[in-house]
């Protein structure tokens, strides 16, 4: 069973639209959830983290967590061409000492 699953995409949205990225995880004891953005050939860049059920907003980004459904999502409002990247969902289990489990990522393209 895969630890963290994401739709690989590609997801393509027009500029100004809302992009919705989804992630599910298998370990019900997972405690921390992260979204990273990765441009081609570059390192993961942290954009959001969420620890509690519900929504967390930061600028144009909103992370949503539903632990009962083992589901975490990222909404990007007013999408810009510069948002075009691969978005990685990462999960930290309660039993691990900092280790992150990554999904394969969803490739997002925002076209002007």
Partner 1 sequence: EPEVTQTPSHQVTQMGQEVILRCVPISNHLYFYWYRQILGQKVEFLVSFYNNEISEKSEIFDDQFSVERPDGSNFTLKIRSTKLEDSAMYFCAISGTANTEAFFGQGTRLTVV
- Beta strand 11-14 pairing with 106-111: parallel
Considering only residues 83 to 102 of the shown chain, the ones binding partner 1 according to CB under 8 A are 88, 90, 92, 96-102
Residues whose CB is less than 8 angstroms from the CB of residue 110 and which lie 6 or more positions away in sequence, other chains included: 12, 13, 14, 15, 17, 19, 79, 80, 81, 82, 83, 84
Q: Residue from 16, 28, 45, 55 that binds partner 1 (CB under 8 A)?
A: 45
Q: Residue from 25, 73, 74, 103 that binds partner 1 (CB under 8 A)?
A: 103
Q: Kindly state the smallest distance separating residue 70's Cβ from partner 1, in Å.
A: 18
Q: Residue from 7, 31, 70, 109 that binds partner 1 (CB under 8 A)?
A: 31
71 makes contact with partner 1 (CB under 8 A)? no
Select 15 or 58, whichever has its Cβ closest to partner 1. 58
């Amino acid at each position: 069973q895969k630890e963290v699953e994401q739709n690989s995409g590609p997801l393509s949205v027009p500029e100004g639209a809302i992009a919705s990225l989804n992630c599910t995880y298998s370990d019900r004891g997972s405690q921390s959830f992260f979204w990273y953005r990765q441009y081609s050939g570059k390192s993961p860049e942290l954009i959001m983290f969420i620890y509690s059920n519900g929504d967390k907003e930061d600028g144009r980004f909103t992370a949503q967590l539903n632990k009962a459904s083992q589901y975490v999502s990222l909404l990007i409002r007013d999408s810009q061409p510069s948002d075009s990247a691969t978005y990685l969902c990462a999960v930290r289990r309660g039993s691990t000492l900092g280790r992150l489990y990554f999904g394969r990522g969803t490739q997002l393209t925002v076209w002007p």
